[in-house]
Amino acid sequence: MKIPLTWRYLLAFYCLGALMGMSHELAHHVTGYAICGEWGFKTFNNFELAQGCSLAHPQSFWLATLAGPLLFNYLPLWIGFVMMRRANSGTRLFGVSLVLSTVPALRIFSVLKSGDETWLVYHFFGNDTLALWIMKACAMALILPPLILAWKTIHNRYKPLVYGLLFIGVPITVFYLVGIVLEGLIIKDHVLSDTVWGMPYMVLLAEILASIGYSMLKSHLWHPADDKLSSGSARTIAQMS
């Protein structure tokens, strides 16, 4: 299966990556609301529970931290894994796109440094080195197989470049635009920083724009480059008959 290196595909992939990143924080935020009964605060990179929530709900407030990576990293990684094993090349293209849109490079960095997973280990086991290493091993066992299968599924001519573009190139530009530029506008410059449901207007605006972009372009995530010829010739044959 060949990745179609068209601007439409890359833009669709960009929108999907932005949506996955924002949905990760949204999952923290909405789960926090479900537990606490009131909204906390979220930007593009961070979330906070409503004040006093962790003391009021000590048994369950940690679920808000778990929800982000579980629902918008590990789950889509494995949905993508299943899709890449299907015979249909369009399904395999979407599987590859889904896996790499979760920005696994950032997840690996987060697992190895200090992200949600590390927070959960500290919460349950304190500063326990063994628990930390077990978490890292389990997280890598969940992240690496979909990445390896994505590598095997891509058959473009310059595979390392294409894989690198989707694994690190596009995600870095998503992270730069959303996680640094737009985040800085909210935090430092207070642009559209008033909130509704604990979310700055800037976050809502970006979510709406990425959703519109994705819904307009999503069909391009289902048509591999090597399918164009066959579907084109099928159409020609249909027209001739």
Place of tokens 């020609």: 236
Residues 111, 136 contacting (CB under 8 angstroms)? yes
In angstroms, what is the minimal distance from the CB of 224 to Zn ion? Answer: 32
Instruction: Give the integer Cα–Cα distance in Å for 159 and 169.
Output: 14
In angstroms, what is the minimal distance from the CB of 27 to Zn ion? Answer: 8
Residues 38, 29 contacting (CB under 8 angstroms)? no
Residue closer to Zn ion (CB basis): 69 or 95: 69
In angstroms, what is the minimal distance from the CB of 229 to Zn ion? Answer: 42
Residue closer to Zn ion (CB basis): 116 or 227: 116
Residue closer to Zn ion (CB basis): 110 or 211: 110
Residue closer to Zn ion (CB basis): 88 or 118: 118
Q: What are the tokens at 131?
A: 């628990």
In angstroms, what is the minimal distance from the CB of 67 to Zn ion? Answer: 9
In angstroms, what is the minimal distance from the CB of 206 to Zn ion? Answer: 17
Instruction: Give the integer Cα–Cα distance in Å for 232 and 240.
Output: 12
Residue closer to Zn ion (CB basis): 26 or 165: 26
Q: What are the tokens at 86?
A: 């299907």
Q: 225 CB contacts (<8 Å, ≥6 apart)?
A: 2, 3, 4, 5, 156
The residues of the shown chain that bind Zn ion, judged by CB under 5 A, are 68, 116
